[in-house]
Amino acid sequence: MENYPLDSEKTYYSGDYLTLDCENGPKTLKVGEWLLTDPVRIHKMVVREKVLHVDQMEVFAPLVSKLRRADFEYYKRITGLRMMIDFPGYPSEIEARIPYDTDPIAFYKWWRKGKHEHVVYLSPAYQFKLFQKVSVMEPKIMLKKDIDFVKNF
């Protein structure tokens, strides 16, 4: 098969061919097939390394949904507070950022004490902000490990 090296000036669509180095040597697939084969690698090339430019609607939107199924831990880390969650008091799913920002006490109780840490990934910086707010507003509800986390941050 012909070789289609990465062109960082080009915007790729799902039908465009792309050759990437793999364990068994170079491999050529359509971009749409790469989304199924190695969505994490493609996402890193687009978002972190910024070497692969793709069409937002035709490639990037499907890529994000593929990531959710292919590697949920990676998906959760990149989504963070944009993760859609079922949160008490809301009729449908909302972004985790909404209760995180508007009601830190309820979010803390849901996330930490309700054992939903596996649902929403909070970076250490976001954990610090949350724990700091809660420690000022309602320190009695905090777990000792979170009080220590704030002190030692």
Sort strands 94-95 and 84-85 into parallel, antiparallel or unpaired.
antiparallel
CA 120, CA 153: separation in Å to the nearest integer? 21
Q: 0.85 cut: is pTM over it?
A: no
User: Residue 65 pLDDT > 90, yes or no?
Assistant: no
Q: Residue 80 to residues 21, 77, 85, 120, 126: CA-CA distances in angstroms?
A: 30, 5, 11, 6, 9
Q: What is the mean pLDDT of residues 24-34?
A: 95
* C-alpha 9 chain-centroid distance: 26
Beta strands at 53-54 and 84-85: parallel, antiparallel or unpaired: unpaired
Count CB-CB contacts under 10 A for residue 103.
15
Q: What pLDDT, in 10s, does the model give residues 73-127?
A: 999 999 999 999 999 999 999 999 999 999 999 999 999 988 899 899 999 999 9
pLDDT of 32 reads 96
Mean local confidence (pLDDT), 134-139: 95
Q: Per residue in 40-54, pLDDT tens? A: 999 999 999 999 999
